[in-house]
A and B are shown apart, each in its own frame.
Chain A
Amino acid sequence: MYDAPSLERNVDQKEIKFSARNVQVYYGDTHAIKDVTVEIEDNTVTAFIGPSGCGKSTFLRCLNRMNDTIDVCRVEGDIRLDGEDIYDKRVDPVQLRAKVGMVFQKPNPFPKSIYDNVAYGPRIHGLARSKAELDEIVETALRRGAIWDEVKDRLDAPGTGLSGGQQQRLCIARAVATAPEVLLMDEPCSALDPIATAQVEELIDELRQSYSVIIVTHSMQQAARVSQKTAFFHLGHLVEFGETGQIFTNPVDERTESYITGRIG
């Protein structure tokens, strides 16, 4: 069961990866994110939970500036990665996204071979100097994605031919291959069956060793299983943020309690 003192000590040792202050997001006239302030730690799995449309995915997409690809979207406030403002004019969003990888709700392998899917990021960022080096990066990433054993004999087969769970792990391997510092996951298991979900969750726990992982999920069990920190969003507000154990057992805000016990949502 949850042991408050030991975890608090752990938290103190971890450094802050992302720090967001007073973030506002607008879609045209809609105010989607209202004044969110949050600090996300390194080597931690942080879960964003909340009802549909509460802004958790929008906030996630602010962290790697994916919202830039949407014309009507406007972001205000201050988001810092390792103390550096990511919305500063000098920051290249393309470079930022290489540092902050993303895995999407629906597995979206490219219509290429498994190898080319994983090699895509390293190739465009010039991470490998030779074919051998690229091979190594691909193998490491596939091992990290816990899919190497299943695909090592058919790296030339199209990535789209894999099963749903395998595709999602391939996408995780693809994100890992660019050597990111943070992994954003937008409901990575919502299109998967329970067995594939278990595999991906196990993988997320391993990834915590090397990355800061932020996961958006609709499943509170999943948040409780994989995360150390949980943020509860409601109607664009960050209602409560804290230790996962504390949020689920002893929430401060009554809205959090209502959501967790199933009264709103």
Chain B
Amino acid sequence: MPATWLVLIVLALSAIGYVLGRQRALQNAGGDSRALHSLPSYYGWHVALMALVPATGLLAVWLIAQPLLVENTIAGQLPDSAIPESSTRSLVMSDVRRVADGLDLAVSQGAMTRDDAATLRSEFTQVRERLAEVGVALGSDVNAAVLSAAQDYRSMSRVGNLMMTIAVLAIAALGFVYALSRTDRDFRARNVVEQGIRALLVAAASVAVLTTLGIVLSLIFNTLEFFKLYSAWDFFFGTTWAPSFGGGSELGVLPLLWGTFYISLIALLVAVPIGLFSAVYLSEYAPGKVRSVAKPLLEVLAGIPTIVYGLFALLTVGPLLVQIFGDDGVGIMQASTAVMTAGLVMGIMLIPFVSSLSDDIINAVPQAMRDGSYGLGATKSETVRQVILPAALPGIVGAILLAASRAIGETMIVVLGAGAAARLSMNPFDAMTTVTAKIVSQLTGDADFASAEALVAFALGMTLFVLTLGLNVFALFIVRKYREQYE
């Protein structure tokens, strides 16, 4: 039975459970809901949840575990002779899976009977041709070992699926009956449901945490793999970035880090003053009407996709800069793609981050601070400079560091605005590139995934992750240290 049907049956069971649980509780109380410990719907929910949650939990675990288990067993059973010299066990296993899927398809289309599929012998039947008839293309003829492994694969999966169906339905029914049997007027269904809600929330929170953990782990393992192929010293301290897929690449991260740092610096130099000043204007000077129009307008900037900013950099800002600093002008800019182009546009992109967050933070400074300052005869700008900004400083630093994290992680603007050349240069009008842009270029294309040139992307990702993590920790530290000074 497919998992979809199983889920639907369990859902139906739990819906019935809701109705029955509610009814039973009311009956037990003689139809008077005031005699119950909890509201009638809580008894219903209790039964419904008991039927639904353990069963779907088991289903989820089973769906993840079964393929892994079957795969490992079959792979272990494959005789070494079945693996050609030039191939690996995992490649043969993918053939096995393909044949098994093909047989499933053939059976479901009626091209084979179920018995045929299970007893097929490669000695007597052209498996490849018969599978091709139902639309499954195989790269080579199917040998006896692969075919029998595929047949084992199918039978194991079938047994597994059957067991899963039975187990899930049994658990659902057990939960249903148990919950229903506990339902009486004194049962504290409300508290139990509360526990269930709590568990649900904990589960949601742990999904987020576990995913992060998974991302980090996958980065770490691939990074370690990379450092087996390429020396860590050369990676961290190499000053040349010259990947070549034929081998003999130089994969020094320094030019990329420098590009990232340089572009982010220019972006922040643009975004922080403009963003902060506009935040001060919006929160302290602007009349209510201006504020109610200008703030959403500014936030629209944050909603523009970064690729659009990239186009803006490529088509507008770059050529404009070339006119001024190019060979016809100052003569220090060769092409329109440059650190300055990307930095300026990225700065514009970051303005709403800085201004919107800072505006909220400045507004959170108590009015009593302003009154105190105005009451002493301070002007608006004196009040802003000497009282409000110091009071809002931790939050503003947090906003700036958040913007810095965004700048470091930004990709599209760099790809389109800064060029692709990795170099160490002080001239902001040179083309450079960043860590993120290079991760993209290393992983797109036909590179062998096990080569140092592809795996370097994970090392770059890890470097970036550690950098932004450090920035965020630093931001947290700053905010903690200076928080709530004005309480």
Could you mark each residue 472-487 of chain B with 1 if its beta carbon is under 8 Å from any beta carbon of chain A, else 0?
Answer: 0000000000000111
A250 at the interface (CB under 8 A from B): no
Contact of B288 among A71, A97, A103 (CB under 8 A): A71
Q: Is B374 a contact of A97 with CB atoms below 8 Å? A: yes
In the complex, the chain A residue whose C-beta lies closest to that of B378 is A124
Q: Is B377 a contact of A94 with CB atoms below 8 Å? A: yes
> Which residue among B370, B376, B379 has the maximum number of chain A CB atoms within 10 Å of its CB?
B376
* Stretch among B32-40, B98-106, B385-393 lining the A interface: B385-393
B445 at the interface (CB under 8 A from A): no
Q: How far is the CA of A64 from the CA of B366 in the complex (A)?
A: 21
Q: How far is the CA of A187 from the CA of B308 in the complex (A)?
A: 56
**Residues of chain B contacted by A171 (CB below 8 angstroms):** 372
Decide: A64 near B375, CB < 8 A? Known: A71-B287, A110-B387. yes
Contact of A97 among B376, B387, B390, B485 (CB under 8 A): B376
Q: Is A66 a contact of B391 with CB atoms below 8 Å? A: no
Q: How far is the CA of A231 from the CA of B376 in the complex (A)?
A: 25
**Residues of chain A contacted by B288 (CB below 8 angstroms):** 71
Q: How far is the CA of A111 from the CA of B389 in the complex (A)?
A: 10
- A230 → chain B closest CB, angstroms: 23
Q: Is A111 a contact of B376 with CB atoms below 8 Å? A: no
- B282 → chain A closest CB, angstroms: 15
Q: Is A124 a contact of B369 with CB atoms below 8 Å? A: no
Q: How far is the CA of A103 from the CA of B378 in the complex (A)?
A: 14
- B289 → chain A closest CB, angstroms: 10
Q: How far is the CA of A108 from the CA of B373 in the complex (A)?
A: 9
Q: How far is the CA of A98 from the CA of B372 in the complex (A)?
A: 12
**Residues of chain B contacted by A109 (CB below 8 angstroms):** 372
Could you mark each residue 360-384 of chain B with 1 if its beta carbon is under 8 Å from any beta carbon of chain A, else 0?
Answer: 0000001011111111111100100
Q: How far is the CA of A104 from the CA of B367 in the complex (A)?
A: 11
* A60-98 interface (Cβ within 8 A of B): 64, 66, 69, 71, 94-98
Q: Is A106 a contact of B370 with CB atoms below 8 Å? A: no
Q: How far is the CA of A102 from the CA of B375 in the complex (A)?
A: 5
Decide: A95 near B377, CB < 8 A? Known: A110-B391, A112-B390, A160-B486. yes
A174 at the interface (CB under 8 A from B): yes
**Residues of chain B contacted by A110 (CB below 8 angstroms):** 369, 372-373, 386-387, 390-391, 486
A120 at the interface (CB under 8 A from B): yes
Q: How far is the CA of A98 from the CA of B375 in the complex (A)?
A: 7
Q: How far is the CA of A96 from the CA of B485 in the complex (A)?
A: 30
- A242 → chain B closest CB, angstroms: 28
In the complex, the chain A residue whose C-beta lies closest to that of B372 is A108
Interface bracket on A: 20 to 34
Decide: A111 near B485, CB < 8 A? Known: A71-B288, A125-B377. yes
Q: Is B487 a contact of A175 with CB atoms below 8 Å? A: no
**Residues of chain B contacted by A95 (CB below 8 angstroms):** 377
A236 at the interface (CB under 8 A from B): no
**Residues of chain B contacted by A66 (CB below 8 angstroms):** 371, 374-375
Contact of A101 among B375, B391, B485, B486 (CB under 8 A): B375
- A223 → chain B closest CB, angstroms: 22
Q: Is A111 a contact of B372 with CB atoms below 8 Å? A: no
Contact of B377 among A69, A158, A160, A178 (CB under 8 A): A178
Interface bracket on B: 20 to 34
A164 at the interface (CB under 8 A from B): no
In the complex, the chain A residue whose C-beta lies closest to that of B289 is A71
A121 at the interface (CB under 8 A from B): yes
Could you mark each residue 397-409 of chain B with 1 if its beta carbon is under 8 Å from any beta carbon of chain A, else 0?
Answer: 0000000000000
Decide: A108 near B376, CB < 8 A? Known: A158-B485, A160-B485. no
**Residues of chain B contacted by A99 (CB below 8 angstroms):** 377
**Residues of chain A contacted by B371 (CB below 8 angstroms):** 66, 69, 102, 104, 108
In the complex, the chain A residue whose C-beta lies closest to that of B366 is A108
Q: How far is the CA of A158 from the CA of B377 in the complex (A)?
A: 22
Q: How far is the CA of A175 from the CA of B378 in the complex (A)?
A: 12
- B442 → chain A closest CB, angstroms: 48
Contact of B376 among A69, A106, A124, A160 (CB under 8 A): A124
Q: Is B377 a contact of A175 with CB atoms below 8 Å? A: no
Q: Is B372 a contact of A104 with CB atoms below 8 Å? A: yes
In the complex, the chain A residue whose C-beta lies closest to that of B387 is A110
Q: How far is the CA of A81 from the CA of B366 in the complex (A)?
A: 30
* B117-165 interface (Cβ within 8 A of A): none
Q: Is A98 a contact of B376 with CB atoms below 8 Å? A: yes
Q: Is B387 a contact of A121 with CB atoms below 8 Å? A: no
> Which residue among A101, A109, A111 has the maximum number of chain B CB atoms within 10 Å of its CB?
A111
Contact of B373 among A101, A120, A160 (CB under 8 A): A120
Q: How far is the CA of A124 from the CA of B373 in the complex (A)?
A: 10
- A95 → chain B closest CB, angstroms: 7
**Residues of chain A contacted by B376 (CB below 8 angstroms):** 97-98, 101-102, 120-121, 124, 174-175, 178
* B340-375 interface (Cβ within 8 A of A): 366, 368-375
* A99-141 interface (Cβ within 8 A of B): 99, 101-104, 106, 108-112, 120-121, 124-125
- A106 → chain B closest CB, angstroms: 6
Could you mark each residue 454-487 of chain B with 1 if its beta carbon is under 8 Å from any beta carbon of chain A, else 0?
Answer: 0000000000000000000000000000000111
Q: How far is the CA of A71 from the CA of B290 in the complex (A)?
A: 13
Q: Is A124 a contact of B372 with CB atoms below 8 Å? A: no
Q: How far is the CA of A66 from the CA of B486 in the complex (A)?
A: 22
Q: How far is the CA of A21 from the CA of B32 in the complex (A)?
A: 71
**Residues of chain A contacted by B485 (CB below 8 angstroms):** 111, 158, 160
A sample of 8 more A-B contacts (CB under 8 A), given A174-B376, A175-B376, is A69-B374, A94-B378, A101-B376, A102-B375, A110-B486, A111-B369, A120-B378, A120-B387
Q: Can you show 26 pairs from A to B with CB atoms below 8 A apart?
A: A64-B375, A66-B371, A94-B377, A96-B377, A97-B375, A97-B377, A98-B376, A104-B372, A108-B368, A108-B372, A109-B372, A110-B372, A110-B373, A110-B386, A110-B486, A111-B390, A111-B391, A111-B485, A120-B386, A121-B376, A121-B377, A121-B378, A124-B376, A160-B485, A175-B375, A175-B376
* Chain A residues proximal to chain B, CB less than 8 Å: 64, 66, 69, 71, 94-99, 101-104, 106, 108-112, 120-121, 124-125, 158, 160, 171, 174-175, 178
* Chain B residues proximal to chain A, CB less than 8 Å: 287-288, 366, 368-379, 382, 386-387, 390-391, 485-487
